Chain A
């Protein structure tokens, strides 16, 4: 699976959009981009995933660049409860083990 690079931490203002970047320059054509978050030692929570088109759900939007080498997770209106470690993961659909390689993630702090 391709490696991802995220900033180790960032602050966001409550009520504003939070844009979380992720670089995955070695991504291959059959690899999806997944985003999870983990709120202080709770189980990680699935947020969204995508292949090449932009995706949106009730939690967030995922913007993937045309060359697929980077993506941005957008939390439209950040709240204090969005403070968490956010993980950007790239995973191939080939192979049977649905294993997710969690890196160090991005510690996002939403500030009042």
Chain B
């Protein structure tokens, strides 16, 4: 089944403890992206990747890192999480960063930083 898989689904962590949220897609998509969703603010893009080894900042990149060493994986790294990064995170992929291709989203990761 074509899908975007995120792990973990739920995570509670403490301030400052490095964590990684994994994202993997099995559709050979070139484009991948991370979004966060907060009440009243909607979905906002954090980082995106046009292809392997090509990443760039979205609208709210502060406090996050990403890497794209392989086409299928696009992990989101929080080096020193803070409470304001408590949010619902979604990974998404698309056939290409150009053109009108739709996104496929993962099921989400609910992160709580205490």
Measured CB to CB, the residues of A under 8 A from B are 32, 34, 36, 41-46, 49, 91, 93, 96-100, 102-105
Contacts and interface: CB of A to CB of B under 8 A. Distances in A.
Interface of B: 4, 31, 33, 42-43, 45, 48, 50, 56, 58-59, 88, 90, 92, 94, 96-108, 110
- Residue of B43, B59, B94 with most chain A CB atoms under a 10 A cut-off: B43
Nearest to A98: B97
SS of A interface (majority): loop
A97 B55 CA distance: 10
Given A43-B4, A93-B99, 9 more contacts: A41-B108, A41-B110, A44-B92, A46-B103, A49-B100, A97-B50, A98-B97, A99-B33, A104-B42
Contacts of A41: 88, 108, 110
A43 B98 contact: no
14 contacts: A34-B102, A36-B103, A43-B106, A43-B108, A44-B43, A46-B102, A46-B103, A93-B98, A97-B50, A98-B31, A98-B98, A99-B48, A102-B42, A102-B43
Contacts of A36: 103
B105 A97 contact: no
B103 A44 contact: yes
Contacts of A100: 43, 45, 103
